[in-house]
């Protein structure tokens, strides 16, 4: 698909969603994490399906005190597909780093698909899914 459908500003805003997730995760801020998603978004992780911004927020609030306590996450786009003026698909590589790690271990490395949509004038995630790299 052509990138000419989007302005450079919109393209950068959509491609910046992973950075917003990384920043929210660094603060273990479930509200900021969930704010990246649309109201009816879906999030699929290995063994997990969560639907809706509120449920994503609630899951991450628990996870930041349990399985993701003390962790950081990283993710960089390696492919961006503009599907239309309001839809972008991002593919990223990254993963979760345990406390003290400076890079993602092979067993925690992931690839992810992000469906970004223009929602009420802002770029948000309508769908996110990751799997082991």
- φ/ψ of 97, rounded to 5, equals -110, 130
Phi, psi of 66 (to 5 degrees): -120, -105
pTM over 0.75: yes
Contact (Cβ atoms closer than 8 angstroms) between residue 111 and residue 131: yes
State the pLDDT at residue 4: 57
Domains of the chain from N-terminus onward: 3-132 (3.10.450.50)
The pLDDT tens digits along the chain (133 residues) read 444 578 889 989 999 999 999 999 999 999 999 999 999 999 999 999 999 999 999 999 999 999 999 999 999 999 999 999 999 999 999 999 999 999 999 999 999 999 999 999 999 999 999 999 9
Taking residue 31's Cβ as centre, other Cβ atoms within 10 Å add up to 12
Structure tokens that stand for 74 in this block: 């990283």
3-state SS class at 20: helix
What's the pLDDT score for residue 5?
76
């Amino acid at each position: 698909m052509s990138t000419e459908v989007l302005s450079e500003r919109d393209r950068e805003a959509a491609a910046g969603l992973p950075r917003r997730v990384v920043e929210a995760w660094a603060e273990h801020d479930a509200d900021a994490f969930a704010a990246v998603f649309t109201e009816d978004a879906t999030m699929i992780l290995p063994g997990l399906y969560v639907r809706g911004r509120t449920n994503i927020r609630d899951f991450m609030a628990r996870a930041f005190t349990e399985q993701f306590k003390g962790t950081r996450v990283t993710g960089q786009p390696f492919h961006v597909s503009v599907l239309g003026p309001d839809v972008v698909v991002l593919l990223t590589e990254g993963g979760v780093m345990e406390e003290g790690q400076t890079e993602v271990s092979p067993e925690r490395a992931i690839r992810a698909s992000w469906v970004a949509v223009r929602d009420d004038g802002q770029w948000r995630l309508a769908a996110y899914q990751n799997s082991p790299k």
